[in-house]
């Protein structure tokens, strides 16, 4: 992506321009391992970054040389082994469901690159344990999609609420504000998250 084109577009919003001038972010990129990303997303749900990293690290340590497991490797593990990493019963079952969906070709990860954003979300949210927010994060951070804005993300709503003086729970208004950043809403989101880190 030509960042200069995207930034010139986003700078038309003078409020967002103040954030762009203050911070630096890297553009969304395409991940090398989509299965790993989805597993990490499931493990990380409702945990702090630190706790999630610890548990996911223990999970990867179950495999030789911390190699990224394949779906059939996950299905071979007992729940007791998965629970020993700190995973809940629910998350253990979600990891197995994801693996089963991939093995049975209900979810073909290689095809996700070819699908429009909403179709990716539909495909992912059919998997037990993956909701819309997780799918939207996957679009940005794993598929490198350029025009994703997650109105379900509390951080993004908080940032927009502070900058544009709107109610954080007014999702319709926040969605409306985000439309002016299209087709580069993913990059706008990265700047908004960055602004919260430093506020």
Q: Which residues are catalytic?
A: 153
Separation CA 46–CA 6 (nearest Å):
32
Query: Which SS3 state, helix, strand or coil, does residue 66 take?
Result: helix
Separation CA 188–CA 60 (nearest Å):
32
User: Are 186 and 145 contacting, i.e. CB atoms less than 8 angstroms apart?
Assistant: yes
Report the alpha-carbon angle 67-60-101, nearest 5: 85
Separation CA 126–CA 136 (nearest Å):
14
User: Are 106 and 58 contacting, i.e. CB atoms less than 8 angstroms apart?
Assistant: no
Question: Given its phi and psi angles, is residue 48 left (phi above 0), alpha (psi -120 to 50 degrees) or beta?
Answer: beta
CB count in 10 Å sphere of residue 21: 8
For the chain, give the longest Cα–Cα distance. 54
| Residue 11: DSSP 8-state | T
Q: How many residues does the chain have?
A: 199
């Amino acid at each position: 992506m030509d960042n200069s084109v995207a930034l010139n577009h986003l700078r038309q919003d003078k409020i967002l321009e103040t954030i762009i001038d203050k911070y630096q972010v890297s553009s969304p990129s395409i991940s090398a391992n989509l299965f790993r990303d989805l597993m990490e997303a499931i493990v990380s749900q409702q945990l702090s970054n630190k706790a999630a990293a610890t548990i996911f690290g223990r999970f990867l340590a179950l495999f030789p040389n911390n190699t990224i497991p394949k779906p059939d490797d996950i299905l071979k593990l007992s729940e007791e082994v998965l629970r020993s990493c700190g995973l809940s019963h629910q998350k253990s079952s979600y990891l197995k469901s994801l693996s089963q969906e991939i093995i049975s070709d209900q979810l073909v990860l290689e095809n996700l690159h070819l699908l429009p954003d909403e179709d990716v979300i539909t495909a992912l949210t059919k998997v037990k344990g993956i909701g819309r927010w997780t799918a939207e994060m996957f679009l940005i951070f794993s598929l490198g999609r350029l025009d994703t804005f997650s109105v379900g993300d509390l951080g993004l709503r908080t940032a927009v609420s502070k900058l544009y003086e709107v109610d954080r729970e007014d999702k319709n208004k926040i969605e409306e504000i985000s439309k002016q950043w299209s087709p580069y809403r993913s990059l706008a989101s990265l700047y908004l998250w960055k602004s919260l880190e430093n506020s």
